[in-house]
Each structure stands twice: as C-alpha cells, then as structure tokens.
Amino acid sequence: MSWFRRLALSRFLKAHPPGRTQPAAMDLIAAYAPVLLASLLELWRKKGLGHYGRMQLALIDPRHWQPVLDRWIVSPPDAVQRIPIALTPFGALLYYRKLTATDEDVVYVDPVSKATGDLSWNLEDFFNQSLCDAAFCDSLIPSARLATARKECGPLAAGEVYQIDQLLLSMQMLRVDKVDALALHTRLRDAVDAPAPVADAPATIADALPAEQRPVFEGIFQQPQASGDLHGLYLSSYIDWHRMLSLEPDGQYRLLFWKIDHRSHARTDVRAYSGRFEVTQTEMGDRYLTLDIRLRRDSSGSDANDAQLLVMRSGTEMFLLRTDELADMATAMEGSKTLGRSEYYFRKVRLTDAFVQEPSGGRTAPPLADLPHVLQQQVNAEAIIATITHVDEIDPDAEDDGAGTVMCTLDRGQDDGLRMNTPLRSPPGTGRALVGWVWEMDPAACRAGIRYQRGSDGKVEDGPVVGDVLTNRLSTE
C-alpha cells in the first residue's frame, strides 16, 4: 500500500517532466491561493516555475507578467480577473480566468500574430488532457519549428523565448534567435501604438548615428583618400539595424551597432567595440580583415559575426564581406543576382553621404571578375542535385487558398553542401516547377519545405512526390 498521493497534475508531469524549475516561494503561493486552483499551486510548490518537457512550456510568476497581460487585454476594473500562468517557447502568453462560480477557461494571446482564443474550459483538463495530446501540443507549439529552433539556438534559459524573423518567414526562409520574453512582449505591444517621433529622419550618414557616438566618428577620414585605400568608414544596414566600422591607419578599429526605429526614429540598442585589426593576403591575392572583438555581458552573440571580413573592390566601391556568409552570398548571386542580405556586407562611405536605405535583399552583385577568388569559386561551384525520398502528410489547416508548403526529406545533407534556407527548384528540362527551401539540417538528409498548389477540384496538381529532383542552381542559363 502506498502512502504517497500523486499530484493532481501528474499526467501532465509524466508527459512533460520538469526541467530547469525552481519551487515557488511561499509568499507567491499564498498570494494566489484565493484565485488559482489548488492543483496548480501544488505544482508550483512541489515542482516549481520554469520549463517543462522538451516542448519547453514555461510556468511563470504571474506578478512579473500581469502588467504585460494588462496591456494586451484592456478591461474595466470590475471585469473578470485574468492571471498569466504559462508561456510557450515562441512567446504566446497563456492566462487563466475564473468566469463564474462553476466556469473557468484557459486563454492565449500571441504577441506576434496578435491572435487570442480559448484553449480549454477547465484548467486541470488543459494540463492533464490537452497538453498530453500530441496533436494539441503540435497546434500550440509546432514541433518541427521547435526542433529547428532548438537545433539552431539551443535550449531556452529562464526568461527566454525563440523569436522567428517574420519578414524572412514570409519569403519562406527561417531565421530564429533567442530573446528576452518580457522585452519581446513589450516591444511588440509598443509597436501597436504608433509612437510620436522623438528625432528627425536622417538625411546623411552622420545624422543616422546615435548622437552620443557622432563625435567619435566625425572628423575621421574626411580628407580625400586613394580609391584602393582600405582605411576609412564602412556602413552595413539591414532594415532598421545598422553597423558602422572605422579602420584607422594605426591599426585600430571602432565597431558600432545601433537600431533606428522606423516610426519614432529613436536610436536604440547601441553597442560599441574597439580594438586592433589585422590584414592578411592569400596567394591568390584575396585580402582578409580580422577584428579582435571581445564580447561583453551586454553583447549579442551575433556581434562576433564581423570578426573576419573579406575585402572586395568593384570599380570605385569598396566592400567588406562576412566570411561565414560567403556561401549564402554565392547562392544569392546565382539566383537573384544580388549580394544577398544586406547585413552580409559593409560598403565604404563618408559621413557626408546621403543616408539611403539599403535593399534588405542586397544590392546588385558586381561582375564575376570583381569578386574575390574564394567567392568566385563558390559561385562557380558544381550544382547540388538532391532527390526527394519522403513527402510528409499535407496539413490542410496551414493552407492559403489551396497553396501551402509540405516538408520533404532529401538524399543530400549538410555534408553535401546544403545550408539552412538554401533555395531549391526543379532543374530545367524536367517538366517540373517545384520551389522550396532547406528548413531542417542533417549531415546526410536535410528536410526542405516545398510549395504545392491544389486545383479547383481540391486535388494537388503541382506538388512534390518521392523521386522528384531538386537543385540549388537557380538560374536557367
């Protein structure tokens, strides 16, 4: 005979064992005892707040999240109390309502889509039934997207969520970062209310700099320079995010990161680095620039992506290319005839130049002969040919007017040269017109999202099947 009583939410615990959790303080439990179910408070006390299971559902302290929820859901003082209780790994906030003496529900609000809706009409059923159902969990937290996020960024720490670049997602490319959950909600909620401008729109590159950083760069390299002189100022812009790099004749560099809000024009997220740089040259004549970047506690991990740059000169223009993005740049040059995303490169500028928004997809690529030799080799590399070995079941709920994307397994992988977001298409002459992108990495069998279209009769007319051939060579020449 067992003298140990199982927790009321034991089915949830079995399906999603606690990971990095910490038992809730007694004052927190006492504060919410009058308004939350004993079963949830018991879970707080015995297992704790934090992440549960591989799906990384986080039980949260309502005190920290109540102001956030109150900004999303504005209610009169006598309205039903809403209590935030959990957070999905992609930032959806779950909250509990006691509607009447006998009625309750669990509701979500998604800060990205701004969608909201009921998840369950009973809190215990939500934990012990809904969250124990694989199909429900996959609809709440898409498993394929979660697996990709975890593989790309690692598991979440306390207070973090995964953020997906929505602009790139609309172009069928997946980019995931880990961000502070509270900051994400605050920023997305702030975006709902158009802020009043706090600064003028920049007319010149000097105007675009944060005011406190402007004196650092003013007066540098304003004298005429030889067209091939590597020293000078370089700017990289990607939508609202900007980077300024100065290379000084004494071997010192300055690297500035900042953001310009597209409505208020406020300069935010300012980070600055300085140190030594070194220039080396290969036997083929390619010049590399290495920056000694020392990350700090306030650094973003991506700040080190500029540690090694490749010099490129085309006509009178000088560029610095991120070396770890050369493969993506080569793909863009072959497909869209551009340099790829504008964050991949710096261009040489002067502070008096007009501040013009750089195309986020990158400017037109220079002639092949102007490219560094290592990049020419990437552009001229042999095409990758992949065959579809498996096609997942289509999810009709994810379609838009009969069009959608279905995941397919390929017989080629990372070891064969495929990369995350590599664009794929049917080779010319095959009679097929498939288009897709690599979304899940594997050494030998990457998975790609391939577009499909249904006909008027509801049948898939243009979609992938096992045996279809794809290539990363996008041009038809």
Residues 182 and 159 sit within 8 Å (Cβ to Cβ): yes
Q: 21-45 b/e with 16+ CB inside 10 Å = b? A: beebeeebbeebeeebbebbbebbb
379, 396, 426 — which closes off a domain?
A: 379
Q: Return the pLDDT at 173.
A: 65
Give the end of a domain, one of 379, 402, 432.
379
Helix (H) or strand (E) holding 288: strand 287-291
Q: Tell me how far CA of residue 381 lies from CA of 331, 334, 365, 411, in angstroms.
A: 10, 10, 17, 19
Based on the domain organization, do 173 and 232 belong to the same domain? no
With tokens 């030889």, the residue in question is 226
Q: Structural domain tally of the chain?
A: 3
What's residue 1's pLDDT? Answer: 35
Give domain status of residue 197, yes or no: no
Here the CATH number for the domain that contains residue 299 is 2.40.128.640
Residue 450 within any structural domain of the chain: yes
Pair type for strands 160-164 and 176-180: antiparallel
Whether 103 is in a domain gets the answer yes
How much is the pLDDT for 225? 61
The answer to whether residues 359 and 432 belong to one domain is: no
Which range of residues forms the domain containing residue 126? Answer: 10-192
Residue 434 lies in a domain: yes
Tokens (6 digits) for 177: 């970062």
Q: Are 440 and 147 within 8 A, CB to CB?
A: yes
Write the pLDDT tens digit of every residue in 56-83.
999 999 999 998 998 898 777 667 889 9
* Domain termination site, one of 364, 379, 394: 379
Alpha-carbon distances, residue 255 vs 200, 230, 275, 389, 415 (angstroms): 24, 15, 9, 46, 34
Residue ranges, the chain, pLDDT below 50: 1-4, 476-477
For residue 403, what is the enclosing H or E element?
strand 403-410
Kindly give, in sequence order, each residue whose CB lies less than 8 Å from that of residue 62, ignoring residues fewer than 6 positions away.
32, 83, 84, 85
pLDDT at 3: 38
145 and 286 belong to one structural domain: no
pTM of the model: 0.54
